[in-house]
Amino acid sequence: MEKKITALPGDGIGPEIVSSAVQVLQAIAQKYNHTFHIAVGAIGGAAIDQFNDPLPQETIDLCEASDAILLGAVGGPKWDNNPSDLRPEKGLLRIRKHFDLFSNLRPVQAIPSMLHSSPLKEENVKDVDLLIVRELTGGLYFGERNRDEENAYDTLTYSRKEIERIVDNAFQLARLRNKRLTSVDKANVLDTSRLWRQIVEEKKADYPDVEVEHSLVDSTAMKLITNPASYDVIVTENMFGDILSDEASVITGSLGVLPSASMRGDNFGLYEPVHGSAPDIAGQGIANPAATILSAAMLLQYTFELSDEAKEIEQAVARVFEQGFFTGDMAAKGTAALSTDEWTEKVIAEINPSYVPD
């Protein structure tokens, strides 16, 4: 198979972790006789510095000409006081909107050998296998907004169409899993949530094999920590999904292992870790590349439909954890931590011991 991928490293630890994932993709390509042409584009703060634009037209063109996008992370203190259109995060929001990537899939799975790094009780997290389906192109992130010295507002709007497509997507994904769907909202207060809940109720008839519950976001935040194994698929609006997915990283023990896929309903997708640019550890070569490597596995699965290759990456990551190799965010106190590159080499050795970079 011959395919084009655009890699967008971004800021902070972005370049370090994207470099790891690109090496893993090339190791897979070599083993399975695929050719992945991987071009690198600018986004975020790096693009502001170079082009005075967090999402330059060159980058959009590159992505348009690709089969999939692999993104690191954007943002950092250097750009935190920029006007909102010249912030790194705006580049990410614009690329999601440009490609209409309305469905952000954020799986959370407990891997037995890493449960020691979760502050939660092992018996509560060992069976966790859930999927957060986060609406990604609507809600507060994209509503009308304004700010002056005295006042500021952001508006939360959703259309029926926007809710229907994400809810349908979540029902379909639940069907492929354990057929349980939790729709998370704030219907006791918000009108957008009431419309959301009504649409989930209407859609139920189309998916009679899926068991549905509604859950308010505040108590869901509590239950996600006290009983995370009770969830299968969670569907929710943009901002609730953002917050709940970082919270869910406590289950696995580190934000550094959670991957994501941002999809629009066909094979095209943007793949990125759930975490950010981690400015506090950037440039030190110690970031955990697992989330980005697992995002690359999602790319192989969803865009290229290469299930064996995707599984091979996931199993290699699990085996490296089983062997007791961790980066600093997950290593038990008093044990040695591997660098980003050392840990990546372990994964590559599991996949393709004879891999030689081109």
Task: For residues 158 and 137, give the distance between their C-alpha atoms in angstroms, rounded to a whole number.
Answer: 10
| Nearer residue to ligand IPM within complex by CB, 141 or 326 | 141
Asked if 180 and 174 touch (Cβ cutoff 8 Å), the reply is: yes
Q: What is the DSSP letter of 332?
A: P
Whether 218 is catalytic is yes
Q: How far is the CB of 170 from Mn ion (least distance, A)?
A: 19
Binding mask 42-71 for ligand IPM (x = CB under 6 A): ------------------------------
Q: Which is nearer to ligand NAD, 192 or 238 (CB)?
A: 238
Query: Under a CB-based contact definition with an 8 Å cutoff, are residues 128 and 109 in contact?
Result: yes
> x-or-dash pattern for ligand IPM, window 224-243, by CB under 6 A?
------------------x-
Known catalytic residue at 341: no
77 is in an annotated binding site: yes
279 touches, from ligand NAD, Mn ion, ligand IPM, none (C-beta below 5 to 8 Å by class): ligand NAD
CA distance 48 to 69: 19
The reply to whether 84 sits in an annotated binding site is yes
Size of the site for ligand IPM (CB under 6 A): 7
Q: Which residues contact 47 (CB under 8 A, 6 or more apart)?
A: 53, 54, 55, 56, 59, 88, 91
Backbone torsions φ then ψ of 257, nearest 5 degrees: -120, 0
Give the residue, chosen from 272, 309, 314, 350, that forms a contact with ligand NAD under the rule CB under 6 A: 272
Give the tokens for residue 194: 């009431």
241 labelled ligand-binding: no
Site string for ligand NAD, 277-306 (x = CB under 6 A): xxxxx-----xx--x---------------
Applying CB under 6 A, the span of 21-29, 49-57, 89-97, 149-157 interacting with ligand IPM comes to 89-97
Question: Of 141, 158, 207, 231, which is the active-site residue?
Answer: 141
Which residue out of 158, 242, 271, 302 is catalytically annotated?
A: 242
Report, in Å, the least distance between residue 272 CB and ligand IPM.
7
Cβ neighbors of 145 (< 8 A, separation 6 or more) are 152, 153, 154, 155
Classify residue 290 by burial, with Cβ atoms within 10 Å: 0-12, 13-18, 19+. Answer: buried
Sequence-ordered strand ranges (E) for the chain? 2-10, 35-40, 68-73, 103-109, 129-135, 145-147, 152-154, 180-185, 211-216, 233-236, 261-263, 269-271
Footprint on residues 138-167 left by ligand NAD (CB under 6 A) = none
Q: Is 83 annotated as a binding residue?
A: yes
Look-up: residue for tokens 């399975």? Answer: 32
89 near ligand IPM (CB under 6 A): yes
**Closest to 141 in 3D by CA, of 239, 49, 47:** 239
Considering the candidates 49, 61, 191, 218, report the single residue annotated as catalytic: 218
Contacts of 189 (CB under 8 A, 6+ apart): none
What is the closest distance, in whole angstroms, from the C-beta atom of residue 342 to ligand NAD in the complex?
14
CB of 271 to ligand IPM, least distance (A): 12
Surface-to-core class of residue 317, CB atoms within 10 Å of its CB (0-12 exposed, 13-18 middle, 19+ buried) = buried
Residue 256: contacted member of Mn ion, ligand NAD, ligand IPM, none (CB under 5 to 8 Å, by partner type): ligand NAD
How many CB atoms are located within 10 Å of the residue 218 CB?
Answer: 12
Can you say which residues are annotated as belonging to the binding site for Mg(2+)? 218, 242, 246
Name the residues that contact ligand IPM, by CB under 6 A: 75, 89, 92-93, 242, 274, 276
Give catalytic residue positions.
141, 186, 218, 242, 246
